[in-house]
Amino acid sequence: MHVEEQFTPKTWPEAPEKATLEGKNKFLGFWFFLGGETVLFASFFATYLALKDKVPKQGDLVSTDLFELPLAFIMTMVLLTSSITSVYAMYHMKNYHFKKMQAWLLITVLLGLTFLGFEIYEFYHYTHGLGFGYTHSAFSSAFYTLVGFHGGHVVFGLGWITALMVRNSKRGLSLYNAPKFYIASLYWHFIDVVWVFIFTVVYLMGMV
Amino acid sequence: MENQQINSGNARVDYEYRRRRNAEEMRHQVISFAISIFLTLVAFGAVLAGFDKWFVIPFILLLAVVQVIFQLYYFMHMSNKGHEAPQLFIYGGVIVGFATLLCFLTIVWI
Amino acid sequence: MSSIAQKSGFGATVWDFMTTVDHKKIAILYLAAGGFFFLLGGIEAMIIRIQLFVPDSGFVSAGLFNEMLTMHGVTMIFLAAMPILIGFMNLVMPLQIGARDVAFPFLNSLGFWLFFFGGLLLNLSWFLGGAPDAGWTSYASLSLNSQTHGIDFYALGLQISGFGTLMGGINFLVTIINMRAPGMTYMRMPMFTWTTFVASALILFAFPPLTVGLFLLTFDRMFGANFFNVAAGGNTIIWEHFFWIFGHPEVYILILPAFGLFSEIFSTFSRKRLFGYSSMVFATVLIGFLGFMVWAHHMFTVGLGNIANAIFAVASFAIGVPTGIKIFNWLFTMWGGNIKFTTPMLYAAAFIPSFVMGGVTGIMVATAPADYQFHDTYFVVAHFHYVIVGGVVLAILAATHFYWPKAFGTMLNETLGKITFVLFVVGFHLTFFIQHFLGLMGMPRRIATYLPGQGLDTGNLISSVGAILMALGVIVLLINIVMTSVKNVKVGNDPWGDGRTLEWALPSPPPFYNFKQLPFVRGIDTYWIEKMEGREGITPAEPLGDIHMPNGSILPVFISFGFFVAAFGCIYRTEQPWGLAVLIIGLVIAFGSMLLRSLKDDHGFHIPKSELMSDKDKGVRA
């Protein structure tokens, strides 16, 4: 089938993201990339765990001095909700409802921006309020690098989804851009998966 | 072939079947979402309740793993057909990642 | 637009290579760049051996010597061996599985240009204050204290190159899984394709730890972080673990494609199919898996404890078993075969004893208590050169001859090839065999000079003479290449006469779309089957139709250039006023080009059926 073919909800293939060879390749390639990212984040977690609470001298800021569970909880809820909203977007994509997909993607982006806002506030509070800067100790470097890399991935994901929404707003859904939306949504889920471990290992374990 | 077109010969029936199946999948996703929220609440609750750390830490890690499995298998469709290679490579990544984590928890300070 | 019309002229050729997404042209780029860096690494090696020719030599200063040995290692592994092997994988694997290109042609090009700019960045350090000087392993406390920017160039250069390699790995994996021709099941794939597959999986999982380690080094050196700063609670062993969690699989990434190349060469020139195909596949996968479980055998003397040392020692012994299976299978392939000692076959024959010697000294150093004597001596240097030169470099030299016609359409001269072989192999053994004994006599690694009268003089002299022979062998190879290119005698699709796999069914070099009609694969050694049945070409699997091909693009060059520029900004951020601005501009160029790529639709182009039929029609079946 030609990629620019026009469809109706009835003729739209049931797995549009894999209906072309290019879609199949992108699908597989992206999952493999996520496999590599699993190792990447595992390595950052390993570094964090090795350097947790390792500070130059007694009395320097450690995890129990810093983290606030209410904030971590809100951020978790926001990101988790953004994950389900992106699932809704894919549901509408499968049913060939372009406008509804775009709407749910927009909600996903807004929730993602909210999450980022909270995280920026949190980092600002630690650095300017508590004096817990990046160069403060080995622990601080490990914390900001792990959580910061996750935040960087969130920023990239938001940019990616927004670019897709803008770029395709006039084009509508096709077999050419369906895989693009699908793998962006996979990426977004993966970021949420990583966050589950972050809130568990960093914030919850930090307050035990 | 992973992309078998549903074909009963009747286009309307196929379409309705697909819509229903998509809707059912969506229901599964929402249930997964609810379970994820529940698991998150339990984890936060366990920490706030102040149990002994030798219980809490393995417990919340277990909850995290369970939640991630739900998210991988439902949100990311890893349970669906056609995901054998993704499963292989995610588990491969998990194995290498686990070896790294184990190393950094045991043999990094001498 | 006629898709086959091409402009001629130097400028057009340069533009063609800069924008190509054709796997065969990208392979040539990798081979050329890798070959160039191989010569650089060789010069660095010659300087090392000249310095060590006699005791108390003042040929180079100690500081410069440290830079030489560091750059020799980094260049040879990251900028020569890996790119050349990736070049062969790019050239041959899609042809072997009956595909028209790799899964992601644009990404393929991006992978090359990232490697190229990373390598360029690293080597510019020579002119910008000094090359990295903490060894190719760049252990954390030493590298943190290195006074020049060399280590910064190391960290960022390898980071950029590493992204390129990771992309290549993912590309090959998806290509092999999704784009095999009809009838090519996994167990009908040629061994070189299998080793490409497993090596690519290793790349996918081994490069992220290196990425993380390099980020930590970058953050510590350039942004004031404290990962390795013990005074602030940091830990230098973290670097060692990350480096070797990457570094050990890395050597399997190097050797597995080499094994694959030799599998092809052994069966082709024994005129016999590979013995024990299933066990070869199994052994390859097992080596790949075990390769991730042995890294701390590079760290036996760190003080990790007896239990850890024992576990890693035993795992390292285990890896010898599947490797041994492969060696026996190659020998059994030769046994009873009708052997033709062409240049590639000579290299293959030399590989067996050389690599096995390296393997057995590997078992010696894997024995943790014994390693306390071997560690950081020339014994280890001898071991790894035996496996890397005896394995990877001999494979590269063999494959250069073997696949030259497929890449360029000409054949390297056999006589000159045999002269290179003799000079190189004799020189190799002369250089490195004696180093086992130098190590046992106590000569440490990485020392810039040694005192006379300690029993080290003769050994080092012999070792350096061997290096001269290797250099002469390489020079003869260069002469061979120049002469072949000048004479430009074209050859047919199967110049060796005994080709067994699909790539030999295509013209040399293949047309840019590879196969007019995708081939129908009927078994292992597909082309051999067709030959034995008396056919000229391959049974097609589809009727002649329009062929869909990807468009070229200049964007990979811009993306890579952007990161290259950003690296400079990062390195000079704290000491030059333009640093931060350059960093930002570089990132804007890189990400902006990525955005540009994403915003356009790129559907490729079609070669109409009529153009395919107007080429000579022999072998075209409707």
> pLDDT tens for residues C211-262?
999 999 999 999 999 999 999 999 999 999 999 999 999 999 999 999 999 9
pLDDT digits (tens, 9 = 90+) for C255-291: 999 999 999 999 999 999 999 999 999 999 999 999 9
* Facing residue for C238 by CB, picked from B93, B106, B108: B108
Give the end-to-end CA distance of chain A in Å, rounded to a whole number: 57
Phi then psi for residue C547, to 5 deg, are -110, 130
Lowest mean pLDDT among B77-91, C123-137, C200-214: B77-91
Contact criterion met (CB < 8 Å) for C305 and B96: no
C47 pLDDT higher than 80: yes
The mean pLDDT of A51-77, rounded to a whole number, is 92
Contact list in C for residue A21 (CB cut-off 8 A) is 178-179
ipTM over 0.85: yes
Cβ <8 Å between C205 and B85? no
**Is residue A190 scored above 80 in pLDDT?**
yes
Does residue C100 sit in helix, strand or coil?
coil
Q: Distance from B94 to chain A by nearest Cα, in Å?
A: 7
* pLDDT tens readout for residues A94-118: 999 999 999 999 999 999 999 999 9
Cβ neighbours for B36, distance < 8 A, ≥ 6 positions apart? A80, A196, B67, B70, B71
> Does an H or E element contain C29, and which?
helix C23-51
Instruction: Tell me how close the Cα of A156 comes to any Cα of chain B, in angstroms.
Output: 19
CB C506 within 8 A of CB C493: yes
CA distance, residue B4 to nearest chain C CA (Å):
16
Chain B CB contacts of C238 under 8 Å are 104, 108
Contact: C296, B104; criterion CB under 8 Å: no
Instruction: Count residue pairs from A and B with Cβ separation < 8 A.
Output: 141
- Touching B: which chains, 3+ CB pairs < 8 A? A, C
Q: Reply yes or no on whether the pLDDT at B8 is more than 80.
A: no
| Partner residue facing A163 (CB), from C174, C179, C595 | C595
- Cβ of A46 within 8 Å of Cβ of B103? The answer is yes
C2, pLDDT greater than 50: no
CB-based contact A18 B2, cutoff 8 Å: yes
Burial label for C416, CB within 10 Å (0-12, 13-18, 19+), is middle
A28·C177 Cβ contact <8 A: yes
From A21, A51, A55, residue closest to C227, measured CB to CB:
A51
Q: How far apart, in whole angstroms, are the C-alpha atoms of residue B47 and residue B44? A: 5
Asked if A25's CB is within 8 angstroms of C103's CB, the reply is yes
Alpha helices per DSSP H over chain A: 21-51, 63-66, 69-94, 98-124, 138-168, 178-198, 205-207
pLDDT, tens only, C366-423: 999 999 999 999 999 999 999 999 999 999 999 999 999 999 999 999 999 999 999 9
> How near does any CA of chain C get to the CA of A39, in Å?
6
How far from chain centre, in Å, is Cα C87?
Answer: 8
Which helix or strand (DSSP H or E) is residue C605 part of?
strand C605-607
pLDDT (mean) for A131-155: 95
pLDDT band at B7 (very low <50, low <70, confident <90, very high): low
**Chain-chain contact of A135 with C225 (C-beta, under 8 angstroms):** yes
Please provide the average confidence, as pLDDT, over all residues in chain A.
Answer: 93
Judged by average pLDDT, the poorest of A40-54, B46-60, C480-494 is B46-60
Model confidence over B24-66: pLDDT tens digits? 989 999 999 999 999 999 999 999 998 898 999 999 999 999 9
pLDDT tens for residues C70-81?
A: 999 999 999 999
Please, which pLDDT band fits residue C5 given cuts at 50, 70 and 90? low
Contact present, C47 and C53 (Cβ < 8 Å): no
| Nearest neighbour of B110 by CB, restricted to C177, C293, C303 | C303
Instruction: Determine, for residues A21 and C179 on separate chains, whether the beta-carbon distance falls below 8 Å.
Output: yes
Contact flag A42-B96 (C-beta cutoff 8 Å): yes
> Please, which pLDDT band fits residue C535 given cuts at 50, 70 and 90?
confident
**Which residues in chain A touch residue C224, judged by CB atoms under 8 angstroms apart?**
134-135
Q: pLDDT-based confidence at A208, cuts 50/70/90?
A: confident
Q: Rounded to a whole number, what is the distance in Å from the CA of B5 to chain A's nearest CA? A: 7
Of B6 and A187, more confident? A187
Cβ–Cβ pairs < 8 A, chains B and C: 38
The whole-angstrom separation of Cα C100 and Cα C515 is 6
Tokens read off for A38: 């699993």
What are the pLDDT digits (tens) for C548-593? 999 999 999 999 999 999 999 999 999 999 999 999 999 999 999 9
CA distance C405 to C407: 5
d(CA C44, CA C75): 9
- Position C135 confidence tier, pLDDT thresholds 50, 70, 90: very high
- Supply the pLDDT for residue B81: 81
CA gap C396, C265 in Å, rounded: 12
- On chain A, the residues whose CB falls within 8 A of the CB of B47 are 69, 204, 207-208
How many residues are listed for chain C in this entry? Answer: 622
Q: C157 to each of A58, A155, C119, C274, how far by Cα in Å?
A: 38, 25, 6, 40
DSSP symbol at C553:
-
Band of residue C537 on the pLDDT scale cut at 50, 70, 90: confident
* Mean of pLDDT over chain C: 94
Q: Which of C205, C302, C304 sits opposite B93 (nearest CB)?
A: C205
Q: Which of A87, A96, A104, A185 to mutate to test the interface with B (most CBs of B within 10 A)?
A: A87
CA atoms of C89 and A92, how far apart (whole Å)? 41
pTM given for the model? 0.95
Whether C491 shows a pLDDT value over 50: the answer reads yes
**Taking 60 as the threshold, does the pLDDT of residue C41 lie above it?**
yes
The tokens for C471 are: 């250099």
Strand partners, C548: C606
Per-residue pLDDT at A3: 61
In this complex, do C173 and A32 lie within 8 Å of one another by their Cβ atoms? yes
What residue of B is the nearest CA neighbor of A26? B86
Residue from B17, B104, B106 to probe the interface with A (highest A Cβ count within 10 Å): B104
By Cβ distance, the residue of B2, B85, B96 closest to A39 is: B96
Which chain B residues are closer than 8 Å to C205 by Cβ?
92-93, 96
Q: Is the predicted pLDDT of residue C621 greater than 50, yes or no?
A: no
Q: Are C182 and C90 in contact (CB under 8 A)?
A: no
- pLDDT in the model for residue C479: 98
